[in-house]
Chain A
Amino acid sequence: MAFGIEAEKEVIMKANKKDVLTGSYYIDGDVAAAYGAIAAGCKFVGGYPITPSTEAFEAFVHRAPYVGGITIQMEDELGSIASILGAVWSGKKAMTITSGPGFSLMMENIGLGAMLETPFVLLNVQRSGPSTGLPTQAGQADMMQSRWGANGDYEIIAISPDSPQEMFDYTIKAFNLSEKYRCPVMIMADECVGHMTEKVVVPEADKINIEPRRFYKGPKEKYLPFKPDKDLVPPMAKAGDGYKLHISGLTHDEKGYPTFSQTPDTKRLVDKIRLNADKIIELNEDEIDDADVVVVSYGITSRVAIRGIEQARAKGLKVGNLRLVTVWPFPEKRIAELSKKVKAFVVPEINYGQIVYEVERCAHGNANVVLVPHGGGFVHNPEDIFKAIKYAAQEKKKVEGIIEHKTELYRLIHEKNS
């Protein structure tokens, strides 16, 4: 018998008035994310400064004392993520903020978070890599890392906002998803969105829905920390409430005790996301229905792509726009569906090809896949995206594999030399 969420499914919780600074602001994406976190009820941030995510941490530090929150600047990223895991288990909603190299350092404990089914939010304001790379400039090259970066099998949810307003909105959503599925949720923003200053409207508190933590409600002695409800997510308890928890990063059974081989129950870590994917995935679609070419993009690139798409439409091309709001879990079904209808997908991203592999996989050879790469340091030239669309619309042949569109920058750097 499952206790917990079933009983109070109907209860819709609203944000706390004190936490929401209703009004409209002219702020950057980092700050908006901090405001969003506070509105979502986040009371703890363990952080470590790293460009370009620092502003989010700073904004949280400034507001925290007024909303009953607390912050700590830890000694490194390993410490900051471990501290938020601890804070979550003592009952707080928590977030950490990082970028590039810091994200790489967090890998081990992201695995721990997934293993302990700890709901937390990680804001990664991506910069260009690898290694130190370009600290102050945009990149989108951590997308695959967010999904695969830690050892072992687990699934996470990743959201990619494209404006400061979305940084606010989707930070709240990220908290809601993490509480609902008890998994790490990553906000994969990028430097452009993080440092972009725009109007952000903070709605009234009662307009903001909050997913409460699914605390266990049954008798204490019957509590099994990893016994799932029907939706594969177990209800949670917090330390200090007398549940005699044993929570271990080792492979464990329902009780939380270590086991010596994986049980089918371990697979729940991936299944709870994979089987609930339809409920999690959010996409923005525009003129998809009769499109020949669909541009698949996310984050800041999706805003740059609009210009390229408009140019192409002006030339009479039928171009649809598919924006991934949730990047992980990947919208497999939708891409597979579209692949049968369209000629080609055009995937611009600020990396040398990551999400494009997923698009290619889900297209199952039904449509061409064109990659418009950008090494980082800036956003695409919309012209490149337009040219790629033009090419994709004209290509009659089915081309095997990913077609890489040679951008202006590529020609400038590599063809001039040779």
Chain B
Amino acid sequence: MMFYQVTFYVLAAIAVVSALLVITRRNPVHSAIFLIVTLLSVAGLYLQLQAEFLAAVQIILYIGGVMVLFLFVILLVNLEVTVRQEPFNRMWWIAGVAALVLLAELAITYYLGRQAFATPVVSAAALQPNTELIGRTLYQTYMLPFEMASLLLLVAMVGAVIMARRR
């Protein structure tokens, strides 16, 4: 099982590091690439957590869809100036401090509950067959939210089209 942990820590490290790169690169294209790396390693974590379906969705939707959209827009809004400009705004340090405090607080909470969040005793097959289970839950228990989500997507699409349309 040694190997399992190693994979986790490697993936986690990749995720965090490239996330940091996302918010520090000046060039949005580089940020996008590192974001893709993060998303990929997160997808790997999903695989580890027996969520194949989610991993696939992550790859198709997030990376194959959303990120392409991002890159596309970056190319459309091709701004050389941003590369030369100061990437952070005036209040970066205070905001950073606040965020770090938030991190500390989360850490404290998790530390308090570390026994509760210990290794689960669940059998590995509990979430299998993954796709079928998700399908049933989605279409039976969560029918209404599912429909609402589709409606939301529709609205978002129309809205995006309307706003981005050249007038």
Question: Do the two shown chains form a genuine complex with each other?
Answer: no
- B residues within 8 Å of A by Cβ? none
Name A residues whose Cβ lies closer than 8 Å to a Cβ of B.
Answer: none
